[in-house]
Chains A and B, each alone.
Chain A
């Protein structure tokens, strides 16, 4: 599976936008880019995913570079409840034959009041 690289930690002020970067220079053409987050003492929670085009949902936006070698998760207005570890994961069940997720260490987001 192609690897992703994320900063270990980031800080943001409450109610300000947060841009969480992810590098995936070895991404294949069929890899989907998934973002999950893990709040303290909870299971991973789906945030957003995309393939080529930018995506928006009620939680966040996903901006995917044109060459797909990087992506950015955007939280438009961070709240204290957004403090979590954010994981950027590539997954391609069609090629790999598996739907498992391979988690990295993610980015720990700290939101300051």
Chain B
């Protein structure tokens, strides 16, 4: 069973619509990361979330994005009004420790049309 499960695996949405991507870790992590990968490009850091607050965010993570931990067991990434350029794979991940690995989810492929 994977450490991190993401749903949905693929989402198609119309431009301007809101989408919510979900991530469920097996263990009770307080700390979570979201990354994005546009097709053919690098994996890019979006935001880190610790104990129900954003601890760090990149320039990509603008006001259209938000993160939550709605019920204590899963994490969500919301894009309020999607743009064509939001089309990408979105990965959530545990942080890993000083000397331990991170676990990445299998990703959600978001297609904005």
Contact = CB atoms under 8 A, between A and B. Distances in A.
Partners in one complex: yes
A100 B107 contact: no
A99 B96 contact: yes
Given A42-B107, A43-B91, A43-B107, A99 B42 contact: no
Interface stretch (A15-23, A69-77, A102-110): A102-110
B75 interface: no
Interface stretch (B14-22, B64-72, B80-88, B98-106): B98-106
23 contacts: A32-B99, A42-B106, A42-B107, A43-B89, A43-B91, A43-B104, A43-B105, A43-B107, A44-B91, A46-B101, A46-B103, A87-B43, A93-B98, A94-B98, A98-B56, A99-B31, A99-B33, A99-B48, A99-B95, A100-B56, A101-B102, A102-B45, A104-B42
A49 interface: yes
Nearest to A94: B98
A50 to B, nearest CB: 10
A28 to B, nearest CB: 14
Interface residues of A, number: 22
Interface of B: 31, 33, 35, 42-45, 48, 56, 89, 91, 93, 95-99, 101-107
Contacts of A32: 98-99
B101 A49 contact: yes
A45 interface: yes
Contacts of A103: 42-44
Contact of A99 (B35, B89, B102, B106): B102
